[in-house]
Amino acid sequence: MTYDVQSIRQDFPILGRRVYDKPLVYFDNGATTQKPRCVVDAMTEEYYNVNANVHRGVHFLSQRATDLHEQSRETVRRFLNARSTTEIIFTRGTTESINLVTSCFGEGCMQEGDEVIVSQMEHHSNIVSWQLLQARKGIVIKVIPISDEGELLMEEYEKLFTEKTRIVSVTHVSNVLGTVNPAKDIVRIAHEHGVPILIDGAQSTPHFKVDVQDLDCDFYAFSGHKIYGPTGIGVLYGKEAWLDRIPPYMGGGEMIRTVSFEKTTFNDLPYKFEAGTPDYVATTGLAKALEYVTHLGMEHIEAHERELTRYALEQMRQIEGMHIYGHASDGGDAVISFNVGHIHHLDLGTLLDRLGIAIRTGHHCAEPLIHRLGIEGTCRASFGLYNTKEEVDLLCQGIERVRKMF
């Protein structure tokens, strides 16, 4: 299949709109992606023709809605190549998936003084959730340092393990630098120390094929809205052995088998972790999005975005005063963080917006990383499967224009 980006763009109605009477250039895909028509249509169709609560009713609509919901779980299983749908838990997103692990693993498997290893390049969701556990239980957070080029120092990682290490929790891809961490090595080293590992896949799943069995990770988290699916839905993959071992997350309907005031027993996996009515329409939308990217081919999406990133780096590096963070080695993901001369990132972002170019500015929910880089923030252009070299040219022309104003 040839990758025809212009025809792919037709699937995303919003890309045709104008902003301040300029064609929209949407380079904030790291924050959230736009939705193809098939995702919105599938959700509309479910609301118009199927809607009923899942897993509860004996009636036609409830059974149809339940079928759709469980088929979506199977689509996620296939997408991640998980062994079984019992290992796929629906959550509200990466943040909730991580908090589920910190709460349940923290509750079931960690004591005061026990240690978690995270990295310097984590998103706040993978820092603050552990800090909350630290406040509750007195656990210790250890941090893998990074090089000036924004790569994990693997030999330092190995040195952090002690007999108190209980879990490792690191991101697959940095949402600021685009660094793709050597996830397989990180997992292997954790396992050599007999420690399970959670991987934050918020910025990996939209860009390249992820296979949880091949990675051999114990938990993997991602968000639907960053992979062309709806907001408010995400996934936690967990190996069955761990999910069986750790206590439930929230209490309520659906996660129980029997309830009495004396004793309550919990439901089978994955329902033990899914209290309350799930967002079953969003799971349909998520499944559509995963089918959409699978149909395009994750390998084609990856190749397209790698080429776009390579082109963008080449063009951007020609701009006077340009400072690009990370991307020291080839193979960085479709995220470029930069500053230009002494222009404040907020000013640059605001002026680019007036040209119809949407980028992100600030600390990108990764303040410890930004501090490590010795700066206050960056501009971030993050690409999606529908972006083009012409749009990169518009970005570079826009930056030049702003630069000349300062």
Active-site residues: which are they? Answer: 365
Task: Report the DSSP beta bridge partners of residue 19.
Answer: 22
- 353 is written with which tokens? 């917006």
Minimum gap (Å) between residue 198 Cβ and ligand PMP: 11
Q: Which is nearer to ligand PMP, 94 or 339 (CB)?
A: 94
Query: Which is nearest to 281 in space by CA: 5, 35, 108, 39?
Result: 39
Minimum gap (Å) between residue 345 Cβ and ligand PMP: 17
Minimum gap (Å) between residue 336 Cβ and ligand PMP: 14
The burial class, CB within 10 Å (0-12 / 13-18 / 19+), for 275 is middle
Site residues for ligand PMP, 68-127, by CB under 6 A, read 93-95, 123, 125
Q: Which is nearer to ligand PMP, 203 or 309 (CB)?
A: 203
- Based on the shown chain and the rule CB under 6 A, indicate whether residue 378 belongs to the binding site for ligand PMP: no
CB-based contact 158:195 (threshold 8 Å): no
Size of the site for ligand PMP (CB under 6 A): 12
Q: Which is nearer to ligand PMP, 267 or 309 (CB)?
A: 309
Site residues for ligand PMP, 120-159, by CB under 6 A, read 123, 125
Amino acid in position 258: T
Contact mark string toward ligand PMP, 350..369, x via CB under 6 A: ---------------x----
- 394 is written with which tokens? 């518009």
321: number of Cβ within 10 Å: 12
Minimum gap (Å) between residue 1 Cβ and ligand PMP: 29
DSSP string of 188-246, one letter each residue:
HHHHHTT--EEEE-TTTTTTS---HHHHT-SEEEEEGGGGTS-TT-EEEEE-HHHHHHS
In the chain, count of helices (H) and strands (E)?
14, 17
Please state whether 397 falls in left (phi above 0), alpha (psi between -120 and 50) or beta.
Answer: alpha
Q: Which is nearer to ligand PMP, 94 or 387 (CB)?
A: 94
Contact mark string toward ligand PMP, 167..186, x via CB under 6 A: ----x---x-----------
- Based on the shown chain and the rule CB under 6 A, indicate whether residue 33 belongs to the binding site for ligand PMP: no
Q: Which is nearer to ligand PMP, 226 or 306 (CB)?
A: 226
Cis ω before 270 (30° cut-off from 0): yes
- 79 is written with which tokens? 């997408």
Q: Which is nearer to ligand PMP, 94 or 284 (CB)?
A: 94
Query: Which is nearest to 325 in space by CA: 264, 368, 372?
Result: 372
Q: Which is nearer to ligand PMP, 93 or 356 (CB)?
A: 93
Minimum gap (Å) between residue 403 Cβ and ligand PMP: 28
Minimum gap (Å) between residue 126 Cβ and ligand PMP: 6
- 367 is written with which tokens? 């303040």
Minimum gap (Å) between residue 200 Cβ and ligand PMP: 5
Site residues for ligand PMP, 190-219, by CB under 6 A, read 200, 202-203
- Based on the shown chain and the rule CB under 6 A, indicate whether residue 223 belongs to the binding site for ligand PMP: yes
Whole-number Å distance between alpha carbons of 261 and 140: 36
Residues 6+ apart with CB under 8 A from 360: 28, 30, 31, 349, 379, 380, 382
Query: Where does this chain bind ligand PMP (CB under 6 A)?
Result: 93-95, 123, 125, 171, 175, 200, 202-203, 223, 365
